[in-house]
Amino acid sequence: MPDLTAVKTALGAQRIEVPSWAFGNTGTRFKVFAQPGVPRTVQEKIGDAAQVHRYTGVAPTVAVHIPWDAVDDYAALAAYAKERGVAIGTVNANVFQDDDYKLGSVANPDPAVRAKAVAHLVECVDIMDATGSADLKLWFADGTNYPGQDDIAARQDRLAAALAEVYARLAPAQRMLLEYKLFEPSFYTTDVPDWGTSLLHCQALGPQAAVVVDTGHHAPGTNIEFIVALLLRAGRLGGFDFNSRFYADDDLMVGAADPFQLFRILHEVVKADAIRPAAGVAFMLDQCHNIEPKIPGQIRSVLNVQEATAKALLVDAAALAAAQQSGDVLEANAVLMDAYNTDVRPLLAGLREDMGLDPDPVAAYHRSGYGDKIAAERIGGTQAGWGS
Ligand code: LRH
Ligand code: MN
């Protein structure tokens, strides 16, 4: 059986990054339901993100999205975050909301549009220099809607050229994380639709490029942990955008739709000894709390990742290997299910007490009255959202 002290140490060292945009209003093409107390500024988003770290102890960084979180002084923004016990994390570029990008950004047939997109991506690296962020995360909505609309290979050439230009701008300690997505908003081809396409571009660029696995970006039935195992084996798993889905890119709370899948994914990460931050796998949440309160939703999401990680750390690796070696199919499956069926909540509650935190972060947050305070204070102004 795994050593519980080692398991708690690993859980205490895990770091989960929250996305600034989870605190803004989000929805679907049908409706965005505004909520009381939603931030109007990036500073208020950071204040809300700091609440997640305050009660979980494992979420000390906030991913930003440019221009949703654009400010005049990024060094000052980093200082603002520091004063609240967090730091600016991954910088997400946005080349999917400008009218010029209708036919694509870096893969657009028009070289002027491509140049505009590359300029934005490079600007995001400048921002990383100011905030001290290590990772530039790139997701491209680029693609086509009809066969014949554009040349698939030519778009890959344009994409590769743009990525190489941005890659050359990275400082030695900085990384480019390339996220893939099967479809939406493009509905015939997407220029980075799957892990293989992202990996090919990353390998062509160099060692500072790695793949991001957004758990909502696959075709139904995709074995995501297989992809994770492959990327870990290739040393190119840069990180996760955690969320969950029943159908498409639903961006629901991680682990809500399929906690067993999340466990299987983290089992592969644990086996590769890649839970520890030094392994270079960024654990990020990428979610939208369309109808539920956003800060408790983020806290719950961090707990869901912790619980799945704890179960994965409790897998009896020796017993599993023995059963696998001897071809004892049922025993091998049973060893894994024993860990998955273990109630790890007492273990995590104990860890929080060891960290000087309340064993029940969601309840502690509600008792703080922070939610009521911001609902009362944040009157007027324009609530944050995706602005699309
Ligand atoms: C695209 C995506 C990407 C982000 C956006 C907020 O669907 O997953 O990671 O830029 O959501
Ligand atoms: Mn994502």
Q: What is the pLDDT of residues 10-41, one digit of tens each?
A: 999 999 999 999 999 999 999 999 999 999 99
Q: Does residue 69's CB lie within 6 angstroms of at least one atom of ligand 1?
A: no
Residue nearest to atom 3 of ligand 1 (CA): 139
From ligand 1's centre to the CA of 37, what distance in Å?
Answer: 23
Please give the average per-residue pLDDT across 193-216, as a whole number: 98
Closest CA to 311 of 265, 256, 253, 362: 265
Residue nearest to atom 10 of ligand 1 (CA): 139
Where does the chain have alpha helices with state H? 4-13, 42-56, 74-83, 111-131, 152-167, 195-205, 224-233, 259-271, 294-313, 317-325, 329-340, 345-354, 361-368, 370-377
User: What is the overall mean pLDDT for the chain?
Assistant: 97
Please give the average per-residue pLDDT across 337-352, as a whole number: 98
Predicted local confidence at residue 387, as pLDDT:
66
CA distance 179 to 135: 12
Q: Does residue 191's CB lie within 6 angstroms of at least one atom of ligand 1?
A: no
Q: Does residue 92's CB lie within 6 angstroms of at least one atom of ligand 1?
A: yes
Ligand 1 atom closest to residue 19's alpha carbon, by position in its atom list: 6
From ligand 1's centre to the CA of 379, what distance in Å?
Answer: 28
Q: Would the pTM count as exceeding 0.85?
A: yes
Token pair belonging to 37: 């107390």
Q: What is the pLDDT of residues 109-128, one digit of tens each?
A: 999 999 999 999 999 999 99
Ligand 1 atom closest to residue 96's alpha carbon, by position in its atom list: 10
Residue nearest to atom 9 of ligand 1 (CA): 139
Q: Is 294 helix (H, G, I), strand (E, B) or coil?
A: helix
Predicted local confidence at residue 185, as pLDDT:
97
CA distance 291 to 289: 6
CA distance 165 to 146: 29
Residue nearest to atom 6 of ligand 1 (CA): 286
Q: From 97, 186, 214, give the residue whose CB has the most ligand 1 atoms within 8 Å, as the site to mutate.
A: 214
Predicted local confidence at residue 388, as pLDDT:
52
Measured from the alpha carbon of residue 288, the closest ligand is: 1
Measured from the alpha carbon of residue 69, the closest ligand is: 1
Q: What is the pLDDT of residues 266-322, one digit of tens each?
A: 999 999 999 999 999 999 999 999 999 999 999 999 999 999 999 999 999 999 999
Q: From 105, 138, 286, 288, give the residue whose CB has the most ligand 1 atoms within 8 Å, as the site to mutate.
A: 286
CA distance 126 to 119: 11
Q: Does residue 179's CB lie within 6 angstroms of at least one atom of ligand 1?
A: yes
Q: Does residue 241's CB lie within 6 angstroms of at least one atom of ligand 1?
A: yes
Please give the average per-residue pLDDT across 169-180, as a whole number: 98
Please give the average per-residue pLDDT across 81-86, as a whole number: 98
Measured from the alpha carbon of residue 240, the closest ligand is: 2
Residue nearest to atom 11 of ligand 1 (CA): 286
